[in-house]
Amino acid sequence: MSNLTEKAIQEAFMRLLNERPLDKITVREITDECGISRNTFYYHYHDIYDLLESLLHLEEKRIIANVATIQTLQQSFEESMRFVLLNRQAVYHVYYSVSRDVLALYLYNAAEICMRGYIENQCEGLDLDEKDLNDLVFLYASMLEGVVINIMREGLTRDVEDLIANAIRMLEGTARMALENSCRR
């Protein structure tokens, strides 16, 4: 029952978050939306911010569970951006709240998990220094996080899918090339 209740709370929260800013959502609205008492909400979460962090942590776990399937740059980008693409308005509302840092950490972690999976696949046959691998993962993950943050700052005016497609077209093969260059020193 507990998992079903948490899922109902999370779904109600996401529906509301897609409609309005985070600071305009109350625990009462969430509990009314999913038909539970306030006590039940507080049994599962300390407050709305705890709920947000829990939700993003669950999304990170989902990404970790899927990372083994990442073989291409496109899959890496799509998997790391999945939550953002499915919940654009909610992500925008979180970006313009006191929880911006929680969102930024999630975006980096999601990108880091996906890019590590992709880049490790690109290492096949290379004698690579672990530091160089970690640096390349950091660079790609930071780039993805920065792209999403800048899209939010611009007010969701860009076509994210088109931007991803262009980035994949322009960056395809660069990870392997960077890894090979790393092995030459």
| C-alpha–C-alpha distance, residues 25 and 6, integer Å | 17
Please give the backbone phi and psi of residue 99, each rounded to the nearest 5 degrees, phi first.
-95, 20
For the chain, which residues make up each domain, given as ranges? Answer: 55-183
Q: What tens digit of pLDDT does each residue of 94-116 get?
A: 999 988 899 999 999 999 998 88
What is the rounded average pLDDT of the residues 55-74? 88
The pLDDT of residue 185 is 63
Q: Tell whether the torsion through CA atoms of 20, 152, 170 and 184 is positive or negative.
A: negative
**DSSP letter string over 23-84?**
GG--HHHHHHHHT--HHHHHHH-SSHHHHHHHHHHHHHHHHHHHGGG--SHHHHHHHHHHHH
Dig out the tokens for 115 from the structure: 């890019």
Residue 86 has pLDDT above 60, yes or no: yes
Checking if the pLDDT of 14 tops 90, the result is: yes
Model confidence pTM above 0.75 = yes
The pLDDT of residue 154: 83
Model confidence over 134-165: pLDDT tens digits? 998 999 899 888 888 888 888 777 787 788 78
